[in-house]
């Protein structure tokens, strides 16, 4: 799906910033900001504990100037499921909270007239949603008697239906921009760009789809024409090409200008290659080392809502850290992040919202949970949205599923998705799945990925506070992976840290411990050539489900939630800026 663009042929109209909102039909309508999660927009505790379908409504007018044009209503994301009505009639529905959807309303809303738009946003999660929620009725490890310490039995007694199987607050609502835009009646539907490098030349292959006669031009960053052709397919040489290079290189961007009838769409792209070669990942033929934190979309007041300012500021801090990578843990991010990473030369590991499949369940999730087709669809939609971004160099099929208790079923499930990602991506990028700390000898899935991604908390959740033994245990595991012969990224590692909590002896939760933790684990990484990346968990503190281990959220941030650096941010900044191998 193409991003929204305002240009000579396409017009974007602003929608209201404040909509009417109510949790249930019994509540009064009240104002709520869009886009943003609704949960932190009120002191009413039900805004955070609510489980079900919340209601939004607003009015908008299709401008008279839109007469004769195609008019589209586009939602960047509604979390998790959306049902949309226009003038009281069903318009569209969408499943999943992190990808865009749109509806052609040309014949449904007359130019010059005011229309009523209603959106129902469903925050319920379960065995058939991504991310996954736990549901009553499925046996979990532990006792059924809530008197015996059993978290699951307790949850069943509470009768709540939302039991996230993931460690971030289940923010919901209209979280990304709602946009009204117009195109000519004949329009560009889709564009796919693939590039190659041939000595000092680049080769670009553009395929466009649209209703109408298509022509394609390639422009350099100054707007000068490099190549052009009639028809929906153009393969052209870019002499003396300037490559898209990750930081600290120059991320040069070209444009494929596609015309279709009166429509025009400018698709930026970079000429770069990405491939796995033995135990290395090569970008533009050169070994690449991924360094940069995992990041949640999370900020005070807006929750998981889109904010250009927060995104710009976060990426600026990433550059300050000397990072060259960000992983969109644990869902595809708002589209702006990818545009900015294209411009800044920050490499993105792009992840589906498949977090927590089967983790903790005693049933076989691959047989019990009806997820395979839906997961494949979400993966396809993510690739369709993000396929042209040069910053995206690795697809992540999901985070921390159970791969250990039902190894053959896990392998079948994830292999099908792995093949699908390769089939669907025009650029055929490498594919991974991010593995939970587990008995890696029993897991036969992680090792089949193009890049092995492992989340490990040696020194924190296990071998807590004992960094010397943590290093030895991690080294034993690294010996195992070295024999597998694939590139490995330590895709999560980290320690909860309370800012301002200090001690001469680095103990858990102090700023000194977090810094010492990274120094200890990094010393293991530095001794191994097949390790191609380190992604601290996490960029900033973020809101999580309340629980005994989450004082004011997950505190493993290198930055506080208001983006002030903890000591470890300075430690990693020195490493990534001045000391890296």
Q: Hey, which residues are catalytic here?
A: 400, 492
The Cα–Cα gap between 488 and 505 comes to 32
The Cα–Cα gap between 403 and 440 comes to 9
- Residue of 89, 58, 75 whose CA lies nearest to 178: 75
The bridge status of strand 263-269 relative to strand 254-260 is: antiparallel
Torsions phi, psi of 553, nearest 5? 100, -170
399 binds ligand BDP (CB under 6 A): yes
Nearer to ligand BDP, 109 or 326 (CB): 326
Q: Do residues 401 and 442 lie in contact, with contact meaning Cβ atoms separated by under 8 Å?
A: no
432 binds ligand BDP (CB under 6 A): no
Output the smallest distance, CB 457 to ligand BDP, in A: 7
Please tell me the chain's helix, strand, coil percentages from 3-state DSSP, rounded to the nearest 5.
Answer: 20, 30, 45
The Cα–Cα gap between 195 and 284 comes to 11
Q: By Cβ distance, which residue is nearest to ligand BDP?
A: 167
Output the smallest distance, CB 52 to ligand BDP, in A: 25
Nearer to ligand BDP, 399 or 514 (CB): 399
167 binds ligand BDP (CB under 6 A): yes
Nearer to ligand BDP, 118 or 543 (CB): 543
Torsions phi, psi of 446, nearest 5? -50, -40
**Binder among 58, 245, 255, 554 for ligand BDP (CB under 6 A):** 554
For residue 287, the 8-state DSSP code is E
The Cα–Cα gap between 293 and 301 comes to 23
For residue 69, the 8-state DSSP code is S
Output the smallest distance, CB 436 to ligand BDP, in A: 6
Total residues contacting ligand BDP by CB under 6 A comes to 10
Q: Under rule CB under 6 A, which residues in 297-356 are in contact with ligand BDP?
A: 330
> Any idea which residue has 């052609």 for tokens?
104
Q: Under rule CB under 6 A, which residues in 75-94 are in contact with ligand BDP?
A: none
Output the smallest distance, CB 513 to ligand BDP, in A: 15
Nearer to ligand BDP, 247 or 295 (CB): 295
Output the smallest distance, CB 421 to ligand BDP, in A: 20
Positive/negative CA dihedral, 167, 173, 177, 180: positive
Output the smallest distance, CB 333 to ligand BDP, in A: 15
Nearer to ligand BDP, 341 or 436 (CB): 436
Site track for ligand BDP across 11-50, x = CB under 6 A:
----------------------------------------
Nearer to ligand BDP, 462 or 523 (CB): 462
492 binds ligand BDP (CB under 6 A): yes
- Residue of 99, 90, 194 whose CA lies nearest to 429: 194
**Binder among 537, 539, 559, 576 for ligand BDP (CB under 6 A):** 537
Which residues make beta-bridge pairs with 255? 219, 268
Q: Do residues 306 and 176 lie in contact, with contact meaning Cβ atoms separated by under 8 Å?
A: yes
The Cα–Cα gap between 137 and 494 comes to 34
171 binds ligand BDP (CB under 6 A): no
- Residue of 97, 84, 99 whose CA lies nearest to 133: 97
**Binder among 3, 455, 510, 571 for ligand BDP (CB under 6 A):** 455
Output the smallest distance, CB 542 to ligand BDP, in A: 8
The Cα–Cα gap between 217 and 266 comes to 9
Nearer to ligand BDP, 267 or 491 (CB): 491
Torsions phi, psi of 178, nearest 5? -100, 130
**Binder among 400, 450, 511, 534 for ligand BDP (CB under 6 A):** 400
Question: Footprint of ligand BDP on this chain (CB under 6 A)?
Answer: 167, 330, 399-400, 436, 455, 492, 537, 554, 556
């Amino acid at each position: 799906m193409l991003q929204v663009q305002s240009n000579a042929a396409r017009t974007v109209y602003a929608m209201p910033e404040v909509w009417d909102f109510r949790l249930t039909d019994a509540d009064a309508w009240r104002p709520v900001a869009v886009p943003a999660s609704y949960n932190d927009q009120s002191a009413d505790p039900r805004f955070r504990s609510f489980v079900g379908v919340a209601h939004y409504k607003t009015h908008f007018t299709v401008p008279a100037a839109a007469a004769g044009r195609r008019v589209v209503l586009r939602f960047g994301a509604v979390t998790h499921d959306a049902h949309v009505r226009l003038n009281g009639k069903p318009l569209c529905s969408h499943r999943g909270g992190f990808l865009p959807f749109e509806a052609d309303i040309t014949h449904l809303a007359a130019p010059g007239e005011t229309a009523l738009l209603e959106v129902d946003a469903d925050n319920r999660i379960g065995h058939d949603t991504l991310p996954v929620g736990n549901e009553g009725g499925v046996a979990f490890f532990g006792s059924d008697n809530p008197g015996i310490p059993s978290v699951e039995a307790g949850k069943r007694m509470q009768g709540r239906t939302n039991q996230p199987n993931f460690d971030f607050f289940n923010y919901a609502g209209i979280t990304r921009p709602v946009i009204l835009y117009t195109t000519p009646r004949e329009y560009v539907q889709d564009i796919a760009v693939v590039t190659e490098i041939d000595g000092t030349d680049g080769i670009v292959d553009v395929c466009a789809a649209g209703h109408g006669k298509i022509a394609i031009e390639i422009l350099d960053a100054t707007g000068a024409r490099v190549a052009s052709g009639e028809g929906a397919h153009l393969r052209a040489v870019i002499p003396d090409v300037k490559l898209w290079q990750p930081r600290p290189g120059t991320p040069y961007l070209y444009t494929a200008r596609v015309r279709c009838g009166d429509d025009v769409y400018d698709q930026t792209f970079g000429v770069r290659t990405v491939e796995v070669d033995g135990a290395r990942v090569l970008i533009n033929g050169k070994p690449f080392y991924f360094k940069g934190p995992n990041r949640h979309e999370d900020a005070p007041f807006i929750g998981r809502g889109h904010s250009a300012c927060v995104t710009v500021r976060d990426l600026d801090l990433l550059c300050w850290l000397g990072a060259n990578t960000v992983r969109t843990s644990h869902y595809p991010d708002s589209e702006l992040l990818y545009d900015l990473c294209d411009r800044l030369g920050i490499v993105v590991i792009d992840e589906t919202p498949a977090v927590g499949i089967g983790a903790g369940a005693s049933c076989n999730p691959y047989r019990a949970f009806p997820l395979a087709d839906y997961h494949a669809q979400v993966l396809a939609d993510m690739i369709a949205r993000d396929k042209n971004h040069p910053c995206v160099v690795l697809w992540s099929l999901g985070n921390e599923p159970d791969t250990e208790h039902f190894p053959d079923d896990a392998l079948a499930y994830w292999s099908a998705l792995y093949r699908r990602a390769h089939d669907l991506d025009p650029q055929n990028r490498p594919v991974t799945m991010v593995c939970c700390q587990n008995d890696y000898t029993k897991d036969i899935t992680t090792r089949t990925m193009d890049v092995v991604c492992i989340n490990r908390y040696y020194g924190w959740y296990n071998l807590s506070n004992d960094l010397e033994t943590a290093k030895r245990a991690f080294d034993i595991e690294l010996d195992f992976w070295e024999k597998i012969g694939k590139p490995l990224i330590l895709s999560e590692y980290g320690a909860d840290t309370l800012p301002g909590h200090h001690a001469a002896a680095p103990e858990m939760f102090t700023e000194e411990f977090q810094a010492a933790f990274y120094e200890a684990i990094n010393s293991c990484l530095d001794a191994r050539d097949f390790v191609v990346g380190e992604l601290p968990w996490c960029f900033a503190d973020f809101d999580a489900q309340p629980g005994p281990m989450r004082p004011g959220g997950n505190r493993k941030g290198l930055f506080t939630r208001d983006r002030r650096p903890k000591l470890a941010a300075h430690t990693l900044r020195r490493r990534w800026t001045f000391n890296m191998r």
